[in-house]
Amino acid sequence: MIAGPYLLYLGHSQDEVGIKTSRGMAVFRRDDCVGEFRHDDCPFTLDLPRMGFDQAVAAGAKTLVLGIANAGGTMGEDLVRDAADAIASGLDVASGLHSRLRDEPVLVAAAREHGRTLHDVRDPRPDIPVGNGKPRAGRRLLTIGTDCSVGKMYATLCLEQGMRARGLKADFRATGQTGILIAGGGVPLDAVIADFISGAIEQLSPERHDGGWDLIEGQGSLFHPSFAGVSTGLLHGSQADALVLCHDPVRPHMRGLPHYPMPGLAETLEANLRVARLTSPHVQAVGVALNTSKMPRAAAERLCAETADALGLPCTDPFAMGVDPIIDRITECFEPSPRAATASL
């Protein structure tokens, strides 16, 4: 277990999307976060108290969460130096980067010297099976996206909160570093060997017989040349009954690929439904989630209404406007009982 409370790391970050792990923790686990650590050249803030490591320990922090991401998930010299200083001050360190804390000799030595713990969040379980595609009982919803980092985790967590507020059984299933840190468990899907991706999701979301929903956090995009493989495995392993399409309407191109334009919403839905039908023939789209955080509220509401009309699906910004329209569609489309009969075949 990763001990809280947490100090969230921004470091020298210059990429707003790259601090999504720290930002996600600040939004969904705010009561467990005592502050943020950032250098003077970092232009971002989580609206938490800015603290040094000694100050954070005095305020009760137990773990420094390296809540940043970069292409390849590597640890630079500055980050390693900061993590070593945090350990010397009395903090454990948790990281979801592809580079492992345990592979950094400086950090291993510091942790041993000061009696602290290193947590590598991106470590998949060793017993992941190969996916089999057998129908299984239960209801499952998967968030999909036009691109990476368009709000799939936010939409999924907001749906969990909204469904539970209505008395529905719903559980968030994390598939990325931020979601795992928020939920306390999950599978770091982009660290799973390709042959086992669908099996990892079958393991993460096994059959259930209580009429509840597993809400599975999506990853990547079928239209992103770098990460479409992960998205495909997710679609097959989740056996989703319902899909929610997530999109950032102000993004000019695929993340990190200025030579690839953003795909259209209708073509993204059609492609995802087609791939999902391999293991879930009756899958259907139940809503669209727009990340309108960079738009004026009136323009955002207008765009949601226009999108809903164009696609014939409820459309909202889950974080800013709530998820009631999508939950309404879910309750209209699905009976409360799981697919037990299908799973028994």
Torsions phi, psi for 322 (to 5 deg): 90, 170
| 276 pLDDT higher than 70 | yes
The pLDDT value recorded for residue 37 is 97
The pLDDT value recorded for residue 95 is 92
Q: Which of 29-38, 59-68, 101-110, 328-337 has the lowest mean pLDDT?
A: 328-337
Angle between helices 105-114 and 77-89 (to 10 degrees): 0
Predicted TM-score (pTM) of this structure: 0.89
d(CA 156, CA 87): 33
| Local confidence band at 344 (pLDDT 50, 70, 90 cut-offs) | very low
Residues 6+ positions from 180 with CB-CB distance below 8 Å = 96, 121, 174, 186, 187, 188
Q: Going along the chain, which residue ranges are E strands? A: 6-11, 33-38, 63-66, 92-95, 118-120, 139-145, 170-173, 213-216, 242-247, 253-254, 257-261, 284-290, 315-316
**pLDDT, the chain, mean:** 93
Name which of 261, 270, 249 is nearest 315 in CA terms: 249
- Contacts for 168-173: CB closer than 8 Å, 24+ residues apart: 168/212, 168/213, 168/327, 168/331, 169/210, 169/211, 169/212, 169/213, 170/212, 170/213, 170/214, 170/215, 171/212, 171/213, 171/214, 171/215, 172/215, 172/217, 173/204, 173/205, 173/214, 173/215, 173/216, 173/217
Domains, the chain, ranges and CATH?
6-120 (3.40.50.720), 139-343 (3.40.50.300)
d(CA 167, CA 169): 7
- Contacts for 252-256: CB closer than 8 Å, 24+ residues apart: 254/147, 254/148, 254/221, 254/223, 254/224, 254/225, 255/17, 255/147, 255/148, 255/149, 255/224, 256/71, 256/148, 256/226
Identify the three-state secondary structure at position 120. strand
Tokens coding 342: 């299908």
Name which of 287, 284, 152 is nearest 219 in CA terms: 152
CA angle 232, 235, 272 (to 5 degrees): 80
The pLDDT value recorded for residue 265 is 98
Instruction: Summarize pLDDT for 32-85 with one digit per residue, the tens.
Output: 999 999 999 999 999 999 999 999 999 999 999 998 876 555 788 899 999 999
Q: Which of 11-15, 44-48, 288-292 has the lowest mean pLDDT?
A: 11-15
The pLDDT value recorded for residue 318 is 97
Average of pLDDT values for 99-104?
92
231 or 68, greater pLDDT = 231
